[in-house]
Amino acid sequence: MRADAQRNRAKVLSAAASAFASGGFGVPLDEIAALAGVGPGTVYRHFPTKEALFQAVMEERIASLIDFASSSSADPGAAFFAFLGRIGEEAALKRDLSDAFVVPSDLQARLHEAFNALLVRAQAAGAVRRDLEFPDLLALLKGLLAGLAETSRPERLLAVVMDGLRA
């Protein structure tokens, strides 16, 4: 890819990230373009659709989460709770991480898989209560993420949910 194109793509992505974060998916694409200092056509050259742009923003984050989940430590319980902690950190910074779990995409499926694996192993090891299935955990997490974005002391929320999850 040409250098200028790459530069603009990056500018668009970062503008979109911050615009979506503060205004949700509803922000006009023209506004994102203006924020990136390019014309709307340039946005469309890089992303065929507003939704595609949104997904691209999300996927950057999801990819790093998948990495984290996959490189799990030996202790299943510790791995599970470490992942929760990591998510908590992210969500506290960016308001729209919760959307990352909703917008459907390949990466999202892989994130689910990785997270599910963590859950199953932690439950098998007796570190997490067994009356919880993955969809429940997912809903809980999505809510938690939304909550984390609203508070100035995310560690308190995390502590409550983690304690509630322990066997």
Q: Toward a copy of itself, which CB reaches closer, 13 or 81? A: 81
Least distance CB 27 / a copy of itself (angstroms) = 14
CB of 135 to a copy of itself, least distance (A): 6
Residue of 21, 45, 105, 120 that binds DNA (CB under 7 A): 45
What is the smallest separation between the CB atom of 115 and DNA, expressed in angstroms? 30
Residue 112 interacts, among a copy of itself, DNA, none and using kind-specific CB cut-offs from 5 to 8 Å, with none
Whether 30 and 40 have beta carbons less than 8 Å apart is answered as: yes
Q: Which residues of 105-133 are buried (b: 16+ CB within 10 A; e: fewer)?
A: eebbebbeebbbbbbebbbeeebbeeeee
Residue type, 114: A
**Contact with DNA (CB under 7 A): which of 15, 38, 97, 148?**
38
Three-class secondary structure of residue 128 per DSSP: strand
What 3-state DSSP class applies to 166? strand
- Which residue lies nearer to a copy of itself by CB, 126 or 143? 143
Q: Find which of a copy of itself, DNA, none residue 45 binds, CB within 5 to 8 Å per kind.
A: DNA
Residue pair 119/134 in contact by the 8 Å Cβ criterion: yes
Distance (Å, whole) CA 50 – CA 33: 11
Nearer to a copy of itself, 58 or 145 (CB): 145
**Alpha carbon distance 57, 44 (integer Å):** 14
Nearer to a copy of itself, 38 or 157 (CB): 157
Please report, as ranges, the residues that interact with DNA according to CB under 7 A: 1-5, 7-9, 26-31, 37-42, 44-46, 48-51
